[in-house]
Structures are given as structure tokens and as C-alpha cells.
A = this chain, B = another copy of it.
Amino acid sequence: QSSVTMFGVLDMSLRYTKANGQTLKQLANDGLNSSRLGVRGVEDLGGGLKAGFWLEGRINGDNGSVDTSRFWGRRTSVSLMGDFGEVRLGRGKTSTRLHIDDFDPYSTTGLGDVEKVYSVLGSASDTLNRSDNMVQYFLPSNLGGVYGSVDVAAGEGTAGKKMYGGRLGYKQGPINVAAALQETTGTGNVKFKQMSIGGSYDFGIAKPSLNYSQNEFGAREQKLLTFGLTVPLGQGQILASYTDAKANGAAESLSGVGDAKLMAASYVYNLSKRTALYTTVAQIKNSGLGRFALANSPVVTNGAKSSGFDVGVRHSF
């Protein structure tokens, strides 16, 4: 079984978060990358055809617990790959989540995670990040920079799970531009629609990125504009992001949803390719009835701030 590889990440940080005058000191599990354990492998079937599998699940390093509802919930898939691209069956990130990862310097992780200000707008959508029961198709990698994927997920009779979506992008040299769409059948058979369009350009001394996302559920709507920046610095890099999230009146009628601004800045110092030290400061400024919160923040009251700071180590294996 030489084809089986174990891999993972342990990311532990000392985290301090504050909201409404309450503070919390913690050992956190996802400062830079989410802690995880995985097993994967690829088999060459001949004639350019390959089969592969992937199991990956969350680990909470602070107490040794895991995701009890989905042990391998980050990804569980079997794939057939060839000149035609890849057909993948199972659970994993949707095309839209892959898109948002690409244009968020934080890859939707840690204190700076842009999805902390995304709302499913009361749709009961279970597919904001990942989806169960998916059939995915990925374009091959030899299309001159064009990349893309299509997702279809069976609902199996549960609201918030039936989904289809996809993304299409172009990445060549310093440039990367893409758009993604996703529709999930939510509560009352109403569609929760996500649309994202983004781009980044690597100037060498800095890589700015821009992404615009729009979430809709019936009359409820949320619009998010994210500006990201990655700057190589010495044996590491600076990460920064700014997101302006706006909810319309119908969305604001939902508990906890409102306008919000998310700011985050980090420095990552690489001890090796696998191991890094890092520090992040972040803040969410809510308006109106918004109660968006940073990861592991104390409870936020309507329109209040959620702030955080952490310093940690990320070790990949």
C-alpha cells in the first residue's frame, strides 16, 4: 500500500478575543490553517487514467476532540482522473468555496476568515463551505490557464442540501480571475443563491486581490466586497484584508444580520516550508442589528465590535 499518504496540520495559537467588554483567553486550533488529519492516495490505472481517494477531517488540538458529526467532514471523496479532467464523488468544498478561498488571503480560516461575515440569510443552507452527496467535475489542467468545475449535490430529502454550482476562471502568470455561482434549495423550497467574482494580480512585491460576493434568499440580500493583500517580507509574508458587508432591509430583519466591516492583518514567519510562526489582529465592526463575531469571540451584542489577537504555530505534515 505504498500509495497511501497520511497528512495533516496542527495549528495552535494563544488567542485573545474581546466583545462587549468581555474577554476570552484560549488555546485556538485554526489561527493560520485549520488543524486536520487526512489520508489520501492515487492509483495509476494505465492509459492516462487514475483513481484517487481523499479523507480529511478536523482536529481540535486544544482538547483532542474532532468533528463528531462528520469525522472526515473536510473531504471524503473518490475520483476518476484523466485527460478529460476529474470526476469526484463525495463530500468536500463547493466550487464557490474554492473561489472564495482563492481571493481571501486567509483562505476563510482563523481570525481573518472572510466567511465570518457571510450569512446564509435564514435559508438553512448546509452548503456554504462544503456539501454532502456531491458529484463534481473539474476541467483538466492543460487548458492554457482556463480552470473550472461543476457541482451537483443530492438533497436526499433534507432542506439546505440539494445544490448545484460551478466556477470558471483564468490563471496565467501573475493574473487570476474567476467567477462562481451556486444555488441551494433551502427552507420552503426557496433557492439560496450565491454569486462571486474575483481577481488577483501578483506584482511580485505584493499581490492584491479583490472579490465581490452576493448572497440572496428570497427578498433577503447580502453584498460583500473584499480587498486582500499578500506581501512577501523576509522569510515570510504579510497578509491583510478588508471586507465591507452590506445587508438589505429584508436581510436585516433576521436576527444577527446587519452591515459589518471586517479588518485583519497578519505576519507569517516561515521556519520551514511546513512550519510557521504567525500573529494576527482582526476586528469586526457591526452596524444596526448585526452580531457577526470573530472565531471564538465572546458573544456580541447588536451592532457591537468583536476584536481579536493571536500568536501561534502552524505545523504541516
Q: With a CB–CB cut-off of 8 A, which chain B residues contact A141?
A: none
Q: Are B64 and A71 closer than 8 Å at their CB atoms?
A: yes
Say yes or no for A255: interface residue by CB 8 A criterion.
no
Q: When chains A and B are docked, how far (Å) is the Cα of A26 from the Cα of B55?
A: 20
Taken residue by residue from 109 to 138, chain A's Cβ proximity to chain B (1 for < 8 Å, 0 otherwise) reads as: 000000000000000000000001111000
Interface residues of A in 34-82 (CB under 8 A from B): 37, 39, 41, 43, 45-46, 49, 51-53, 55, 57, 59-66, 68-78, 80
Within the oligomer, what is the number of copies of this chain? 3
Q: With a CB–CB cut-off of 8 A, which chain B residues contact A66?
A: 71-72
Q: Are A5 and B1 closer than 8 Å at their CB atoms?
A: yes
Interface residues of A in 152-166 (CB under 8 A from B): 154, 156-157
Q: In the complex, which residue of chain B has the Cβ closest to the Cβ of A156?
A: B26
Q: Which residues of A contact B (CB under 8 A)?
A: 1, 3-8, 10-12, 14, 24-27, 37, 39, 41, 43, 45-46, 49, 51-53, 55, 57, 59-66, 68-78, 80, 89-91, 132-135, 154, 156-157, 271-272, 274-275, 312-313, 315, 317
